[in-house]
């Protein structure tokens, strides 16, 4: 069995059981304890799992309150740039997240706009504004304040937005956009599909990292608004028709 295939099996086992011990994995996959420890360390470095005593669990999402304090200066600059794309009368989708929360703060006074969001924190912020507000209902992920699931998906499928701003947990070395859960991946794909223009709003820390589920590719967005400096990668980005908007 190849290492990548074995690690995929490890992820699937942890997803099914919630947590797993090194000895259990070694026995189930018929490899040494050292091999399993190396696999777990690789998955930990990629941000997919967390190590616990004698084993591993899937990586938990960072709570909303903690996310809001991380990379704040960068998020504010990205939000400033995003806000420049919103004009009077636009219909805007704001994906759940702390960067999109900053965008909401900057566009709430633009006249006659409609904002659609699956983020409870953004919705509460815009309650105090003149924005025409629509909220995508669904199951609430309490740690992040985002609403997900079939009801949210159905609503997005029925709506047509002029512009959408979307966040991401990770972007790997092949420029795939990744997220920890399948529910988030489905909703983000739908937002992109039904918006006239979609922008990925991400700071530099999201690049070069792994998460469990692929959403789509950077080339699927109208633009990627970020503070990351690419340097030698510029030619590759152009070849792959990825529009980077640096702040």
- pLDDT tens per residue, range 176-193: 999 888 899 999 999 999
Model confidence over 191-236: pLDDT tens digits?
A: 999 999 999 999 999 998 878 789 999 999 999 999 999 988 999 9
Q: Are the beta carbons of 125 and 104 closer than 8 angstroms?
A: yes
Residue 174 sits in the same domain as residue 78 = yes
How many Å apart are CA 91 and CA 134, to the nearest integer?
10
Q: What is the pTM of this model?
A: 0.77
Boundary of a domain, candidates 58, 74, 98: 58
More confident residue, 107 or 48: 107
Element (H, E) at 184: helix 182-194
Q: Where are the beta strands (DSSP E) in 6-94?
A: 19-21, 49-52, 55-58, 91-94
What's the order of all strands across the beta sheet hosting 161-166?
Answer: 132-135, 114-117, 91-94, 161-166, 195-201, 223-226, 244-246
The answer to whether residues 36 and 134 belong to one domain is no
User: At 132, which helix (H) or strand (E)?
Assistant: strand 132-135
Same domain, 134 and 23: no
- List beta partners, residue 50: 57
Mean pLDDT of the chain: 90
Same domain, 24 and 88: no
How many other β-carbons are positioned within 10 Å of the β-carbon of residue 83?
18
Distance spanning both ends of the chain, measured CA to CA: 44
pLDDT at 231 (0 to 100):
87
Which pLDDT does position 68 carry in this prediction?
Answer: 52
Number of domains in the chain: 2
Residues 144 and 82 occupy one common structural domain: yes
Distance CA 235, CA 230 (A): 10
Residues 28 and 90 in one domain: no
CA dist list (Å): 163 to 40, 96, 116, 191, 215: 40, 15, 10, 10, 18
CATH number of the domain that residue 21 is part of: 1.10.10.10
**What is the extent of the structural domain holding 22?**
3-58
Cα radius of gyration rounded to whole Å, the chain: 19
């Amino acid at each position: 069995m190849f290492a990548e295939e074995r690690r995929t099996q490890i992820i699937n086992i942890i997803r099914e059981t919630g947590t797993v011990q090194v000895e259990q994995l070694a026995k189930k996959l018929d490899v040494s304890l050292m091999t399993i420890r190396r696999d777990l360390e690789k998955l930990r470095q990629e941000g997919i799992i967390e190590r616990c005593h004698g084993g591993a669990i899937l990586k938990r999402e960072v709570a909303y309150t903690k996310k809001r304090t991380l990379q704040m200066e960068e998020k504010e600059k990205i939000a400033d740039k995003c806000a420049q794309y919103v004009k009077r009368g636009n219909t805007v989708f704001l994906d759940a997240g702390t960067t999109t929360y900053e965008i909401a703060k900057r566009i709430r006074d633009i006249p006659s706009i409609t904002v659609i969001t699956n983020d409870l924190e953004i919705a509460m912020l815009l309650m105090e504004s003149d924005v025409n507000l629509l909220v995508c209902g669904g199951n609430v992920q309490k740690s992040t304040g985002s609403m997900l699931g079939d009801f949210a998906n159905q609503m997005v499928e029925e709506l047509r937005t002029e512009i959408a701003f979307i966040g991401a947990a990770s972007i790997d070395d092949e420029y795939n956009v990744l997220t920890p859960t399948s529910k988030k991946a489905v909703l983000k794909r739908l937002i992109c599909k039904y918006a006239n223009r979609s922008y990925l709003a991400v700071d530099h820390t999201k690049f070069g990292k792994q998460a469990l589920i692929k959403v789509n590719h950077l080339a699927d967005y109208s633009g990627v608004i970020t503070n990351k400096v690419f340097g030698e990668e510029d030619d590759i980005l152009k070849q792959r028709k990825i529009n980077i908007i640096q702040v």
